[in-house]
């Protein structure tokens, strides 16, 4: 078996992490049990490009149990867990190509390695595999029945391809499942981003000015978690509706150039580039901590920061000190997503729902192969209902059901005042 991991001897430790995550993934466990019986993915060769974590390992096991041949590469150079990568290879027989801290060349070598198996389905977190399939690996496109996308940034890229009529395969936007973005993006990113900031710096959050840039689902979650830790939260947002929402949620709202002048911590969660740029660095308070939790490492303009810096040194793992003029500015996890760079990503309990969507999405794509156009599709709403129903049941939560009379009332227009 071909693979590329840091140290295969870490497999034992990785298996323990994978089993620990599995305890918190009841929805995926149930799907895995059904997949093992029904083998709905027989005939699938799946190349996946995801963050290589213990939660992802459980998704890979589920897809394999369903009959798929799975191959996994990292979706970010800094996010792989080396022990998990080793366990995937040694304990579960899943070819894995991922090394924490790999350089860009190795990153793309790993992506190409999973494409070399000539997959008939792909799975992305950020659309890098789909992008390669449409550029340097075009010869493989004809054999691919479709792809799944995990994250907002990837879906935005894919919709841009669709708009340009450049998309040559159908894609399921798993991110758009309610049971994904309302929970993973909000509670997952909220908690894991704070976890990343705290593990990297061990700074106190109480009483500090904590700036959240971007008030999408991730920003909403992060702001509420930072507030819960006692920070004074400031939100910066370009969309007036979201900015108004942030204000009515109780946060101060202002332009970033003003916010950064009083900020102790700034975290970008926008999905766009150069959010923190030269003007912001010039305005920043001495000692400010900068982090990014958006998918790509372009939100903080670190190229400009490097040019402006008199010196740069690593002061703790995942903390670089930039001396710029008379100020010291601290950049976490090289500006890559801090929740996976210096922590372990979202907790398993939310990834359970996200990856249940991936597993059911793969089954849906394979069952309906040939029926899709080359567009970005949402999964049917029943998938959300099913995932939420199982999740509630696993947590011992029961809910009410509408009576026949209530259903009839909602369906009719005749009964009014």
User: Which residues in this chain contact ligand ADE in the complex, by CB under 6 A?
Assistant: 50-51, 53, 55-56, 188, 192, 340, 345-346, 351
Quote the least distance from Cβ 416 to ligand ADE, whole Å.
47
- The DSSP code sequence of 59-127 is HHHHHHHTT-EEEEEESSTT---HHHHHHHHHTT---EEE-TT--HHHHHHHHHHHHTT--SEEEESSS
Nearer to ligand ADE, 14 or 345 (CB): 345
Nearest-approach distance from CB 227 to ligand ADE, in angstroms: 22
Closer to ligand ADE at the Cβ: 40 or 80?
Answer: 80
Query: Which one, 56 or 270, has the nearer CB to ligand ADE?
Result: 56
Minimum distance from CB of 351 to ligand ADE (Å)? 5
Name which of 148 and 209 has its Cβ closer to ligand ADE: 148
Q: Shortest approach of ligand ADE to residue 109 CB, angstroms?
A: 21
The CB-of-55 to ligand ADE minimum distance in angstroms stands at: 4
Count, residues in the chain: 417
Q: Are 124 and 147 within 8 A, CB to CB?
A: yes
Nearer to ligand ADE among residue 332 and residue 340 (C-beta)? 340
Q: Spell out a b/e string for 355-371, using b for 16 or more CB atoms within 10 Å of the CB, else e.
A: bbbbbbbbbbbbeeeee
Q: What is the residue-wise DSSP string for 2-40?
A: --EES-GGGHHHHHHHHHHHHHT-HHHHHHHHHHHHH-T
Q: How far is CA 155 from CA 274, 379, 382, in A?
A: 20, 13, 21
CA distance 223 to 396: 29
Judged by CB, which is closer to ligand ADE: 54, or 201?
Answer: 54
Q: By Cβ distance, which residue is nearest to ligand ADE?
A: 345
Q: How far is the CB of 346 from ligand ADE (least distance, A)?
A: 4
């Amino acid at each position: 078996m071909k693979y590329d991991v840091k140290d295969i001897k870490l497999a034992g430790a990785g298996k323990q992490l994978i089993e620990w995550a599995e305890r918190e993934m009841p929805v995926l466990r149930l799907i895995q049990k059904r997949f093992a019986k029904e083998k709905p993915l027989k005939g699938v060769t799946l190349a996946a490009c995801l963050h290589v974590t213990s939660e992802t390992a459980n998704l890979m096991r589920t897809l394999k149990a369903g009959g798929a041949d799975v191959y996994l590469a990292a979706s970010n150079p800094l996010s792989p867990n080396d022990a998990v990568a080793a366990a995937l290879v040694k304990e579960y027989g899943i070819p894995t190509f991922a090394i924490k801290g790999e350089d860009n060349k190795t990153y793309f070598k790993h992506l190409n390695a999973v494409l070399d198996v000539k997959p008939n389905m792909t799975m992305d977190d950020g659309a890098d595999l789909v992008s390669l399939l449409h550029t340097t690996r075009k010869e493989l496109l004809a054999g691919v029945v479709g792809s799944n996308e995990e994250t907002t940034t990837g879906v935005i890229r894919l919709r841009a391809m669709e708009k340009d009529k450049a998309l040559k395969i159908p894609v399921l936007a798993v991110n758009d499942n309610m049971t994904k973005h309302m929970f993973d993006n909000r509670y997952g990113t909220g908690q894991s981003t704070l976890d990343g900031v705290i593990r990297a710096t061990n700074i106190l959050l109480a009483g500090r000015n904590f700036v959240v840039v971007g008030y999408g689902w991730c920003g909403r979650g992060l702001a509420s978690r930072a507030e819960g830790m006692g920070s004074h939260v400031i939100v910066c947002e370009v969309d007036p509706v979201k900015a108004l929402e942030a204000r009515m949620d109780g946060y101060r709202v202002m332009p970033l150039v003003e916010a950064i002048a009083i900020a102790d911590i700034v975290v970008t969660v926008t999905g766009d580039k150069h959010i923190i740029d030269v003007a912001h660095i010039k305005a920043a308070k001495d000692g400010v901590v900068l982090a990014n939790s958006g998918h790509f490492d372009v939100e903080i303009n670190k190229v400009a920061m490097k040019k402006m810096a008199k010196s740069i040194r690593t002061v703790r793992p995942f903390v670089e000190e930039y001396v710029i003029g008379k100020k010291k500015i601290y950049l976490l996890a090289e500006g890559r997503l801090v929740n996976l760079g210096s922590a372990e990503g979202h907790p398993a309990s939310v990834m359970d729902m996200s990856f249940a969507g991936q597993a059911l999405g793969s089954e849906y794509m394979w069952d309906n192969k040939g029926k899709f156009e080359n567009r970005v599709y949402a999964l049917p709403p029943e998938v959300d209902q099913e995932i939420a129903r199982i999740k509630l049941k696993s947590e011992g939560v029961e809910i009410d059901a509408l009576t026949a009379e209530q259903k009839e009332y909602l369906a009719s227009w005749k009964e009014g005042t």
